[in-house]
Amino acid sequence: MTDFLTADRKPNFQVGEVILIDKPTDWTSFDVVNFIRSLIKRFYGIGKLKVGHAGTLDPLATGLLILCTGKQTKQIDNYQGMDKIYEGTMQLGITTPTYDLESKPDAHFFVDTITPERIEQVRKQFIGVIEQIPPIYSAIKIDGKRAFDYARKKEDVKLTPRPIRINEFTVDTTNFPELSFYVNCSKGTYIRSLVHDFGKALQNGACMTSLRRTQIGDFLIENAWKIEDLKKLIIDSSKQLET
22 belongs to the catalytic site: no
Cβ atoms of 149 and 135 closer than 8 Å: no
DSSP run (H or E) holding 145? strand 145-146
201 and 177 assigned to the same domain: yes
Render pLDDT for 157-189 as a digit per residue (tens, 0 to 9).
Answer: 777 899 999 999 999 999 999 999 999 999 999
Residues 208 and 229 in one domain: no
Tell me, yes or no, whether 164 and 208 share the same domain.
Answer: yes
- Quick: pLDDT tens for 4-55: 555 556 778 988 999 999 999 999 999 999 999 999 999 998 989 999 999 9
Q: List the single range of 11-15, 80-84, 112-116, 225-229 with lowest mean pLDDT.
A: 11-15
Looking at the fold, whether 34 and 142 belong to one and the same domain comes out as no
Q: Is residue 1's pLDDT more than 50? A: no
* Mean pLDDT score, 72-92: 97
Closest to 71 (Cα-Cα) out of 49, 89, 53, 41? 49
> Angle formed by the axes of helices 227-240 and 29-44, to 10°?
20
For residues 99 and 209, membership in a common domain is answered with yes
For residue 199, which of 208, 210, 187 has the smallest C-alpha distance?
A: 208
Residue among 22, 58, 100, 197 flagged as catalytic: 58
Report the CATH number that the domain containing residue 37 is assigned in CATH.
Answer: 3.30.70
Instruction: Please check whether residue 47 is in contact with residue 36, taking contact to mean a CB–CB distance below 8 angstroms.
Output: no
Q: Which residue has the higher pLDDT, 9 or 69?
A: 69
Same domain, 10 and 124: no
Any idea what DSSP says for residue 5?
Answer: G
Residue 163 CA to residue 138 CA, distance in Å, equals 17
Geometric angle at alpha carbon 27, from 3 and 199, rounded to 5°:
105
Residues 153 and 223 reside in one and the same domain = no
Tens digits of residue pLDDT in 115-145: 999 999 999 999 999 999 988 766 666 666 6
* 124 and 206 belong to one structural domain: yes
Residues 230/19, Cβ–Cβ less than 8 Å? yes
- Domain co-membership, 62 together with 93: no
Q: What angle do CA 187, 73, 39 make, to 5 degrees?
A: 115
Based on the fold, state whether residues 107 and 50 are members of the same structural domain.
no
198: enclosing H helix or E strand:
helix 191-201
Residue 142, φ and ψ in degrees, nearest 5? -130, 115
Domain range for 43: 4-81+219-240
Cis, peptide link before residue 177, omega less than 30° from 0: yes
Q: How many domains does the chain have?
A: 2
20 and 138, same domain (yes or no): no
Please report, for the domain that includes residue 109, its CATH number: 3.30.2350.10
Residues 89, 179: Cα–Cα separation, whole Å: 5
Give whichever of 93-107, 129-143, 150-164, 223-237 has the largest mean pLDDT. 93-107
Same domain, 137 and 151: yes
